[in-house]
Amino acid sequence: MSVPPSGARRGVTAVQVRSGAFSVFYFTVLAGAIALLVILSPHAHFASPAVLAFWALLMLVAEASPIRLPGGGFMTVSSAIDYAGIIVFGPVVTAWIDIVSTLFAEMFITRRPFRKALFNLALFPVTTILAGSVYIALGGKPGSLTLPQDVVPIFGCGLVYFVFNTASISTVIALSQKTSAWRVWQVNFLWTVFHLLAFLPLGSIIALLYFHTKLWGVLLFFLPLMLARYSFKLYTDMRQDLVDFVRALTTVIDEIDPYTRHHSLRVAQYSVKIAREMGLPERDVETIECAALMHDLGKISSRHRKILAKPAQLSSEERRLMAAHPAAGADIVEKVRSLRRASHIVRAHHERPDGKGYPFGLRAKDVPVGARILNVADSFDAMTSDRPYKASRSVEEALAELERCAGTQFDAEVVAAMKRLHGKSELEVYGNKEFSDLVIMARER
């Protein structure tokens, strides 16, 4: 997948207070915003009301259509206007512009609950003041822009803005959902970090236009900025569309055999938990999830359907045909460019550490880690689900079998991770019907 320009402002859309730590962090940000504004505002030099109103209107338009992020929160393109405001007016004046525009956006456009709106109302000015303070500390002077001397202050400003804003949002989401802030940050912001520079030059150009052409030049440049926002929205929609397509395809695969219905969804669920337990980067976790959802794609032919429904042992020809399904599925998956990394996992998910797997007979670490995870998750779900030829095993029996075959049929490190999940009561197991009911309930919500 291609990566869009980033550096955009982030905020909170939907969180719930579930811990004391959440409340402490929430009110710390709120108190910090009040303290900074009370201490610094008397020393700020405000522009004319007309100019400030124009700037606030631009900020409001930029915030009017927030883009939802996959792991919670949202982002807008208003950071470019923040950067320009810091250069033109200084951090405190820009923080007040943030407050006015955010207040109107939260009250009349997004209409978020008061608690969430108040957090955003505090977070944005704190972010701007901290970033602007770094800009000044590094030699930047509000009211003028000199290049290349001000390149370092601009970069330092953008870096602090990005780090503080994304870290704060990740923390508040993690505390509300009782998950890892690092994981939340990876899901939402890792794929944007290398494009931090994109909005820094945009903000600098807006400031230069203001110094030379006043408000007209800023207004003209605002149109390309909104086009950049539209392009980013298209990109995020395509990312979500790809996930939705993979899940829709998974339902088609699972409908082949009523005994394996929702098997791919369960395998994906186990695979994601194992990958995170093993500390894999979130980008790899996403790839492994896609591979798990599509790992049985090679079984969609009518010949495979007959074999899957067979209650007796398979003949040698039937076993040969079933052994070809990883390669057949991978050949289909790799035709989608953004899924080619997942196709390697699909192709190798029946390889074994002892080299007796298929289709290549790879050994140990030659097998991609995602395929090793998928092999364990696939086998675990097969053992704990009812099939035509056998009844399901208990979780303890399935884990014992995985441990018995660790190092030969299954990767020992992956099996150990699954046992740790079970020990922490994080390995939730459902039978075929129970999981089906949960899927239906999730869709209805």
pLDDT in tens, 138-153: 999 999 999 899 999 9
Examine the domain organization and report whether 266 and 357 are in the same domain. yes
378 pLDDT more than 50: yes
Range of the domain at 272: 255-444
Examine the domain organization and report whether 144 and 274 are in the same domain. no
Proportion of the chain above pLDDT 90, given as a percent: 44
How does residue 355 score in pLDDT terms, banded at 50, 70 and 90?
very high
What integer pLDDT is reported at residue 428 of this predicted model?
80
Domain membership of residue 24 (yes or no) is yes
Domain membership of residue 215 (yes or no) is yes
31 pLDDT more than 70: yes
Examine the domain organization and report whether 232 and 289 are in the same domain. no
For residue range 381-421, what is the model confidence (pLDDT) as tens digits? 989 887 665 677 889 999 999 999 999 999 999 999 999 99
Examine the domain organization and report whether 233 and 261 are in the same domain. no
Examine the domain organization and report whether 304 and 194 are in the same domain. no
445 pLDDT more than 70: no
112 pLDDT more than 90: no
The whole-number average pLDDT for the span 117-137 is 94
Domain membership of residue 139 (yes or no) is yes
Examine the domain organization and report whether 120 and 262 are in the same domain. no
What integer pLDDT is reported at residue 194 of this predicted model?
64
Domain membership of residue 243 (yes or no) is no
Examine the domain organization and report whether 286 and 403 are in the same domain. yes
Domain membership of residue 404 (yes or no) is yes
Range from 25-34, 60-69, 181-190, 390-399 carrying the lowest mean pLDDT: 60-69
Examine the domain organization and report whether 224 and 349 are in the same domain. no
For residue range 194-223, what is the model confidence (pLDDT) as tens digits? 666 678 888 999 999 999 988 888 888 877
Secondary structure (H, E, C), the chain: CCCCCCCCEEECCCCCCCCHHHHHHHHHHHHHHHHHHHHHHHHCCCCCHHHHHHHHHHHHHHHCCCEECCCCCEEECCHHHHHHHHHHCCHHHHHHHHHHHHHHHHHHHCCCCHHHHHHHHHHHHHHHHHHHHHHHHCCCCCCCCCCCCCHHHHHHHHHHHHHHHHHHHHHHHHHHHCCCHHHHHHHHHHHHHHHHHHHHHHHHHHHHHHHHHCHHHHHHHHHHHHHHHHHHHHHHHHHHHHHHHHHHHHHHHHCCCHHHCCHHHHHHHHHHHHHHHCCCCHHHHHHHHHHHHHCCHHHCCHHHHHHHCCCCCCCHHHHHHHHCHHHHHHHHHCCCHHHHHHHHHHHHCCCCCECCCCCCCCEHHHCCHHHHHHHHHHHHHHHCCCECCECCCCHHHHHHHHHHCECCCECHHHHHHHHHHHHCCCCCCCCHHHHHHHHHHHHHC
Mean of per-residue pLDDT scores for the chain? 82
267 pLDDT more than 50: yes
